[in-house]
Amino acid sequence: MSLASDMSYSVPASSPSAAVDRDAIAEIFAQIACEAGVAVMSVYASGCAVRVKPDQSLVCDADEYAEAIILKRLGELLPQFPVLAEEAAAAGKRTVDGDAFILVDPVDGTREFLERNGEFTINIALVVDGAPVAGVVYAPALGRMWVAGRAAASCLVEPGAPPPPPQERRSIHVRRVPGQGLTALASRSHSDPRTEAFLAALPLRERRNVGSSLKFCRLAEGDADVYPRFSQTMEWDTAAGDAVLRAAGGVVIGEDDRPLQYGKAGLQFRNGPFVAWGDPNAVRA
């Protein structure tokens, strides 16, 4: 994968997103994620039954309770945007219309949730013209949130509490690749031979296995450099983390050597392989 010299990560002035207040929408997402976090943590504390969906992925009560809250609140606060959410999609809804829509993963990292390691997130993102332009990744068990509008920031917030105002959050940005070697992040639950081969070819200093969309957030904070993913993901898995990383100066490159695209209805909203980089100048062929 290479980085094309004419690649632009800005939104064209003619785009529908030119009329979208990315920061205001991110604030709404933050509020809703905190509300959903209460339901998620209630199930986390009490335990739940696990079911296997037709695609062999796992679902539990936390996914369904959180999604119901998120969809209700999005309908109240952002009714102008169609929404595609993971559990609704599993039940047969796999279509959104128009150039702007919202993607929801109510509990990203269900395996991490069930293993009780805290590395699961609530993901909400706005996609415009195929790119995630606003998003929130919330890790309720860790009490940490990452918010992306025009810029990226992180903060501490407990489930049910109001998110701190923007001026009280920590601005985050990716780092340049350090001279002593890369820190790579890999999925805790979904490794595969192609990922292992890709990582083996890099000048690595360190490798860490991390669950859920937290990998994008670690890159965005400048805590790591690269995250490859060659096994299947869906758009709702990645959009919010991708929004945070892009807002922090990073990139997510697909197999076509371009930023990962969203709204792939013809592929039932499946992503192809991708590599997320903190420093765009580090993108490798």
Q: Please provide the size of the chain in residues.
A: 285
Spatial CB neighbours of 68, under 8 Å, sequence gap ≥ 6: none
Say how far residue 242 (Cα) sits from the centre of its chain.
5
Q: According to CATH, where is 3.30.540.10 located in the chain?
A: 16-171
- The larger pLDDT score, comparing residue 268 to residue 110, is at 268
Q: Residue 236 is which amino acid?
A: W
Best CA proximity match to 90, nearest among 256, 237, 282: 237
Residue 5 pLDDT: 27
Mean pLDDT of 240-265: 97
- Higher-pLDDT residue of 58, 41: 41
Distances (CA, A) of 214 to 15, 84, 194, 222, 260: 29, 21, 21, 13, 18
Integer Cα distance of 235 and 240 in angstroms: 9
User: Are 137 and 244 spatial neighbours (Cβ–Cβ below 8 Å)?
Assistant: yes
Higher per-residue confidence, 96 vs 272: 272
For residues 114-138, average pLDDT: 96
pLDDT at 80: 95
- What are the start and end residues of each CATH 3.40.190.80 domain in the chain? 182-282
CATH number for the domain whose boundaries are 16-171: 3.30.540.10
Residue pLDDT, tens place only, 47-63: 776 766 666 576 678 88
Handedness of CA 19, 22, 26, 29 (dihedral sign): positive
Summarize pLDDT for 196-216 with one digit per residue, the tens.
999 999 999 999 999 999 999
Give the C-alpha separation, 127 to 98, whole Å.
10
Strands in 87-176 per DSSP E: 100-108, 121-128, 131-139, 144-148, 152-156, 170-171
Are the beta carbons of 214 and 173 closer than 8 angstroms? no
Residue 54's pLDDT is: 61
Q: Please tell me the distance from the alpha carbon of residue 246 to that of residue 205, in angstroms, as a whole number.
A: 24
Section 175-179 average pLDDT: 94
Class (C level, CATH) for 182-282 = alpha beta
Number of C-beta neighbours around residue 43 at 10 A: 18
Q: What is the mean pLDDT of residues 31-45?
A: 95
Q: Which phi and psi angles does 45 have, rounded to 5°?
A: -75, -30
Q: Which residues contact 130 (CB under 8 A, 6 or more apart)?
A: 261, 262, 263
Phi-psi map region of 246: left, alpha, beta (phi>0 left; psi -120 to 50 alpha): alpha
pTM: 0.90
209, 186 Cβ separation under 8 angstroms: yes
Token pair recorded at residue 70:
């998120």
The beta-strand segments (E) located in 114-224 are 121-128, 131-139, 144-148, 152-156, 170-171, 182-187, 204-210
Which residue's entry shows tokens 């997320």? Answer: 276
Q: What is the mean pLDDT of the chain?
A: 89
R_g of the chain, CA atoms, integer Å:
17
Q: What is the pLDDT of residue 218?
A: 98
For the segment 142-152, what is each residue's pLDDT rounded down to a tens digit? Answer: 999 999 999 99
The whole-number pLDDT of residue 56 equals 56
- Residues 22, 134: contact at Cβ < 8 Å? yes
Six token digits for residue 210: 């991390």
CB 108 within 8 A of CB 237: yes
The pair phi, psi for residue 36, each rounded to 5°, is -65, -30
